[in-house]
Each structure stands twice: as C-alpha cells, then as structure tokens.
Structure 1
Amino acid sequence: MTAQFLYLDHQATTPLAPEAKAAMLPWLGGPDTSDGLVGFANPHSMHKAGRAAAAAVEVAREQVAGLLPKGGRVIFTSGATEALNQAIRSVTRGAIAYSAIEHSAVVNPALATGAPVQELPVNTAGLVDPEVEIAAGTGLVAVMQVNNEIGTIQPVARLAERAHELGALFLCDAVQGAGKIAPPEHADLIAITAHKLYGPKGIGALWVRDGVKIAALIEGGGQEGGLRSGTLSPALCAGFGAAAALAKERVDADFQHLSGLAELARSILARWTVNGSETARWPGNLNLRLDGLNFPRLLSDCRNIAFSAGSACGSGTGAPSRVLSAIGLDAKTARNSIRLGFGRYTSRDEVEEACRAIEAAAQAQGV
C-alpha cells in the first residue's frame, strides 16, 4: 500500500483553490463558440468577446485590489519577481536599502541597478530594528512583510515611515503576507503573487500608490497603462481574483486554523529549536533546527513528506541559507534546519503524521 503524500511546503507554493479553478475554466475555452462565450478571446480586442474577456480581467483586478491598501492601482505581472524588478528598476535616484533577509528577487535587481546599496541587518530573531540607521540619500527602502524562510513578520509600518522621513519610497515584498495578514498600509509599492495564496502560477501584481511614478519594464503594445506590455490571460487573472476574494473572506478562519496546526507541530517536535522570532511570525511557517541533523538523509527517509531546508528558489545550490546566516547561525547549524509550511487545506491528522515521521527519522539518526 502506498503511503499518503503529505504536503508541508506552502511557502514554496500553495494548491489551487477549487474556487480559483472554477473561475478559470470559462476562460480556457477552445474553438467551440456555440455557447456564446468565447473563452479564448484576447482581452485587448474591441469586439464583443474581447470586451467580455476584458471585463473578467477588471473584475479580477478589483478582487486583487481588495487585499491591498486603498489609494493605489494594481498592475498585473507574470509574478512577484517581475513586479519587484519593475519597482526597483524604476528608481532613478539615490541608494537602495534592503534587509539582510530579502528574497533574491529584491537583492539581485537592486545590485543590477548599479546604485549604492545598504543591507539593513536583522537581529537573532530575524527582525529589522524599526529604528535602524538608514543612510542619507537613500531613494528606496525594501523590506519584506513576512519572510519566506523563517516566517518573521517585519515592522514594515514604522520602516515605511522612516523611509518617508528620508524622502525615500518604500517597497514591500508581501508575497507571503498577502491575503493572510493586513496589508502594509504605508508602502508605496507592493509586490504579490497568486500562487502563494491558492491561485495559479504565472501571474502576480505590483500595487503602486497614487502619485508614485514607475517605468515600464516590458515594452510592446502598451497594455496595463503602458507599464506592462503583453497580452493578459483572462484565465490567470480570474483565478488570481477568485483566490484573492476567498483569502479576504477566510483571513480570520485561516489564521486560527494555522495557529492550531503550528501549536500541534511544536508539541510533537518539542525538542527542536525555532529559527526566528517565537512571537512575531506567521503561524503557517515553522522553521526548526536540531543539532547534528543530516537534512539530506532526513529528506530521503521522509520521502512521502514535502518539506524543505529553506527557499525553493535557493534549493540545490549547496550554500547555507543566507537568511539563517543573517540571524547568526553558522553554516553547520544552518544545515541542521528544516522548514514546514502549513496551509488552508492541511489537516491536523496530516500534521501529526508528518511531524511524528520526521521526529522518528531524526531519532534514527541518533540526534
């Protein structure tokens, strides 16, 4: 009998919500137009079918905007990486400051601009000091809302105020927080992606506060107000919108559910140490370490469980986690860590089964 596969890697991606799938299906139509709905129509065409597709896109835009502050606009992108690149490459003045635990989708574009950069340190809890010194002449401050590896929730409201006091813009990578906690109200630019909130892969958004000017990243036909050329997919937009609307509706229930799962996991893995803050964290992310643990062996012994050692984007490099290094762990200790990610559809039985298997496999290593 094949063992049940247990998915605990929700920071890497989330399953597609049934509601999101249902919203996408009408816009994945083939050549049959007998039902009067041309689901494959180009939303930038002016005929009836194109206008119907465009209307679906705009409904989705409003649904996504419902997760974000008022007083801004949503630009659809291929994902958060593109959104972050567009935001960062739009900065034409001053230095760029970012936290030591930012995603590579922030760090690498910042370095590529050639502008001076400042890395804002984090403490051993994985938090940026809200009163951290930010260099004069900084034009952009970028701090993520929820860290993708250790789940810490940053003091982005105060950091945005600090940026504005310097005359800088504040960019927030809200990929792990969107639809899960309140949006970063004081940000000027916010990047999110659908597949981290139970929507489809291949679509994200950049939210731009009214009055903030950004440059186009992709030139072409001038779609998205000239800021992001290329034909939009009504299906992806509709799935993103439905997932966003559902997340807004379920935000409190999801938080309570995940808090219970985290508490259960901690009770089973009681001897493991939490990486990052014990309190200022998203409960769906549990990053733990156990001295002497051999992670590759653990992963092999628990092959029916999806979990990770850190960011999916950095897996396979062999290098220790930059996030865990930033909170003060040496390379050896960082490699003794695992990341468990719980989601809306994860059951208590699944968490208990997975955590007991992980603990048994660790004990079999003699650690």
Structure 2
Amino acid sequence: MKILYGVQGTGNGHITRARVMAKSFEKFGISVDWIFSGRSKDDYFDMQCFGDFQCFRGLTFAVENGKINIFKTAKQLNFSQLFRDAKNLAINHYDLIVSDFEPVSAWAARRAKKTSIGISHQSAFQYKIPKRGNNWFTQQVMNWFAPVDQAIGLHWHHFGQPILPPVIDVDAHTFLPEVDPKHILVYFPFQSLSNLVALVKPFDQHHFYIYHDVAEPIDQGHIHIRPFSRENFQSDLAKTRGVICGAGFELPSESVHLGKHLLIQPVGGQMEQLSNSLALQQLGLATVCQAFDHQILNQWLTNIAQQGHQNQRIQFPNTANALAQWIAEGAEPEQLNNLVDQLWHQAAPKLAVALS
C-alpha cells in the first residue's frame, strides 16, 4: 500500500505525531510520501525520518505573545496559492490520502475524488466534547480547513464518543529516568523569550529548561535556554517534574502519559486551545491560567511540591500501531468502533468504556 500523508507544520505537535506514525507505517510495510505545510522548509528540524518530503505554504495563524494576531493572520492567508498547490499535487497513484489537519493534501483529494481520512485532534471537534469559544465560524473552520471523507479524532478521553486516544511514542517511554524534583520544562514558543525568562527568574530554587528559537544553548544560572531539538527535548521531558506550556495537544498528551505536573496557558483567541484547557480542567490533569505570572507560578510550584514527584498518570495505548494496522488491512470504516473500544480498554481502567 502507498499513501500520501499531509501534516500541518505550523506547530511541532503535528510533526511529533507524524514521527510516531512513520515508525508504525514502516512496521506494517506501508509506503508513505510526506508533505508539510504552514512554514518555510528551512524552519523544520529533525526531519530525517520523512525522507524527501514536499513542503507547501498552506494556511496558518499568526501568533504573537500568546495571542492570535487577527490582522497578520488575514494578511498572510493565500487561498489562491492553496488551491493552485492542491490542483497541481499529483495524487492519482496513491491508494489513500491521509491528512493531519493539513489543507493541501485534503483539498487535493477532494478535487480528485480520492478517498481521504483525517487523523488529528481537530477531528474530535466534530463530536460532543468539552468546548469553549466555539461558534458557527470556528466550527466551519474546523470542518473546512482540511476536509476529509472520514475524520478520526484523537483526545485525552473518549467523552462517550467514537474518539481514539492520543498518538504517543509509547516505546520511547518504557524505561524512564528518575525524576529531578527541581527540573521544570518550559515550552511556549508563542511567547517572547524575554517574557519567559522574566517569568521564571525569581524562582532560583528550581532549574528551568526553556526551549525556544535560539541558535545555541544559553545558561544563565538556574535558567537554561535550549534550541529546538526533538532528542534533547524528549530527554528533558522524561526527567522533568513539571511542564509549563500552551494548551496544544501533543505535549500535554505526552506529559499526561508520563505523569508530569502541567501548568497550561491557552493561546488567546484560539478555540482549540481554550477547549483543550477546559477538557484538562474537567479531567483534573492540569492547572490552567489565562496568563502566566509570578503569583500563579509560585502557587503551582508550591502545590506540586506538596503533591509529590509524579502527577496522575494515564498510560495511553499504542494508537499509532493500531491505526497503521487498520490502514494496512484496508481502512474499513465499520472496523473503527471496534478499534475505539479496544484502545480505550487498554488505557487506565477509569477511562475504559464499551461503545455501541
């Protein structure tokens, strides 16, 4: 089987999920060509597993200091380029088109009347899940940004819906190092580095590892600034006590899987992140704030010191392998409900459910 897999490349979460899927596709003998959109090709890193991937402009949002900049977003959107790229993308020789909320591959499949499936967190928003900031316009964006024939949603809980658990590299987290109680990981690239440094500077009893857009590592006492690196980031995530980040999906998923304490700030004006924050609060998996400040950080650090090294942990199953096997066996829609049921029964007992 040969498939085309499109990945939304604006943030690193979709790419992290794609890396996990790439390993599973190889395991089940599926040949994959990859395309990415949302940023310049030079801005991607650690992409060796995707081979000679294609890169497109696609569609993306402009975020500054933790909030969507509507003016800049509108200015950079180029729908004519999107549809030219979709029209020119050769897809007839593929057996299946898969899109992780990636518009070029999705619209190319729709134009050519090729079967397409979506595997993404965004697909979960087609169902009745916790939502905040949702309205008619945001729902239309979710439905038409990257439209597919069959949308497969991923989330931290099923919420009584046919949604799958997150795609996590469970094999990479089999043997974990001892947690460093003073180690805190910070990943919020939508905020300026100077603001993040100012946030953590007073708390010199902890060591903060901030991943941001820098060329080389920078150490300033208890503050350690690191360039983007998948390998180094995973190493710090494994041993950290707590994670300070935005309300995306992939990093909180890995953090929950590892039992890390979470302090979350949603990107302002983004329905998905506002809804993720609500879900994390309802599930008791994170502390959520509307803006990081010294008082909130101090309270969070105090609380996690009292709670111990490890937070509530939900050990998610190998969703990537299950999806790859399902695709290799023909991606039959009627088998999806069985897949949902099986995977949630492999998760923590409190999340298990039988879906009819």
Structure ranking higher in strand proportion: 2
Structure ranking higher in helix proportion: 2
Q: Which has the larger radius of gyration?
A: 1
TM normalised by structure 2 equals 0.28
Structure with higher RCO (Cα < 8 A, 6+ apart)? 1
TM normalised by structure 1 equals 0.28
